[in-house]
Chain A
């Protein structure tokens, strides 16, 4: 890691100054080497901070306070992880994040399918208008909802509940979900529905027996893409949740900033590593599906 960060600059500076001996044949190679070096550099910038975060979580406190930040730890220790679990209730935080992510995803998928079915398959006179109404939600920033929801929640005693986080998270993700389901339903041939109709199936049975099972791939996309944002949501949780019992991961991490802003950095980084792990594992296992989903989602537009 350390050796990689320093040297990439010299070759980039040296290469162009070489005499252009066989210019025609060299050029494509030069371009390729340059772009390879550049890509490596950028990947290091993207990944090194995360590797450093992990390394730091294994450092002793003293080593961290005095040492060169790029140096490898002088000795490895799991002590930070013990302190991390003592300071906060990481298990609880992870469970809460899981509940909120599940709850919001169920709403997003189910309601997204239903709305797309109504708009794209059933069709009705104002469907264009309704679709446009939903599109607003993609553009509008989430902050607009903070004050109104805070007021509404306190009126109906919803502050400080799982639902207070799930409702806006699902609401703001719904438009993208509807959009993805709509663009998929466009490709289901009309004949499929006509055949089912002739067999006497009504709109409810067709939804349950044809549309829903066919949507499975899109469901995976919608869940994966939304989960990144919902799992990491900070703003709604920070605004609507107060009690320790309901704190999700982002809020739990904040507990590591102690009184008077004093931070036990190595323990904090250990906690960060623990909380990153679940989503990171999912991401690494399913990254093909996730990457494909992200690509499809935007390029279809």
Chain B
């Protein structure tokens, strides 16, 4: 009956015994809250008074009347772009370089992964000091030394730099993780393929674009999806470093949703924003699969 069934005789109850507990936890923590958010997004509710059905009002307000929402949406996209460049770009470069290294690979992998182990609160503290102007922090000091004094600024209170400044730590934190994954994939590229290409006189660049990258494409798709969904749910570091400020210059959809929920206790509207975030993630994953898979076919 079932091709993938490994045990010849098992009762229906045994399936339920093994499946129900995990399914229950998952439903309570993940599935049910998703449905609940969807439900709440059609209501206006502050948690105390009676819930009031408002139909699509929250969605209309979000898409038409709320400038902050659009600001936060754009910011979130920029935040995502910076994270992706640092994480995937950085990871690909370092992983490729690492394969040409003869010794010390293990040590570099460990050092490179180190920031991923540290809590976001600690990272936020650290970067607040790195960006600070008074007393002068690491970044501004560095600019002084190389003679770019005019670039010195309080990075977190300057509306032009704050968004990049809160995105960079998130990128910095996880490059090591993605580097590891891509590095492992690069190691799996068959040596014979590479050697044959080198014999044919292929340059390093052709070797990379024609042999290595196509070979690691499936892993590249996985890492891109990971980095994108993690980037879209980024919250801790902007929340802790600037809480979206100054003004709304580093507000992301996630921080805006959090404020709507727990500062203004506007549960209905907050749910509407979180439904949007989920849809955004699903669309992003769909787009990645569509674009990267289609390229692979052509």
Contacts and interface: CB of A to CB of B under 8 A. Distances in A.
Interface of A: 5-6, 31-32, 35-36, 38-39, 42-43, 45-47, 49-50, 52-53, 56, 64-66, 68-70, 107, 111-112, 114-115, 117-125, 127, 130, 133-134, 136-152, 167-168, 170-172, 174-175, 178, 188, 190, 193-194, 197, 202-204, 206-207, 228, 231-232, 234-235, 239, 249-251, 253-254, 256, 265, 268-269, 272, 275-276, 279-280, 283-284, 287-288, 291, 294-296, 298-299, 301
Contacts of B130: 49
Which among B14, B183, B270 has the highest number of chain A CB atoms within 10 Å? B14
Main secondary structure, interface of B, reads helix
A141 B280 CA distance: 10
A150 B183 CA distance: 41
Contact of A149 (B17, B33, B121): B33
A228 B14 contact: no
A35 B278 CA distance: 40
Nearest to B139: A69
13 contacts: A47-B111, A49-B130, A49-B138, A111-B21, A114-B18, A118-B15, A118-B18, A120-B4, A120-B6, A141-B278, A147-B267, A232-B118, A253-B119
Given A46-B115, A117-B18, A265-B129, A123 B6 contact: yes
A140 B118 CA distance: 23
Contact of A171 (B29, B222, B240, B277): B29
Given A39-B101, A43-B112, A134 B119 contact: no
B294 interface: no
A123 B4 contact: yes
A35 to B, nearest CB: 4
Which among A66, A119, A133, A301 has the highest number of chain B CB atoms within 10 Å? A301
A127 B141 contact: no
Interface stretch (B54-62, B90-98, B155-163): B90-98
B274 interface: yes
B292 interface: no
Contact of A142 (B135, B233, B240, B261): B233
B180 interface: yes
A170 B25 CA distance: 8
Given A130-B19, A167-B25, A231 B119 contact: yes
Main secondary structure, interface of A, reads helix
Given A130-B23, A140-B281, A253 B101 contact: no
Contact of B100 (A32, A269, A276): A32
Contact of A69 (B21, B138, B261): B138
Given A117-B18, A141-B277, A299-B219, A234 B120 contact: yes
B63 interface: no
B121 A253 contact: yes
Given A118-B19, A122-B10, A250-B119, A149 B40 contact: no
Given A143-B257, A197-B9, A42 B94 contact: yes
A249 B117 CA distance: 13
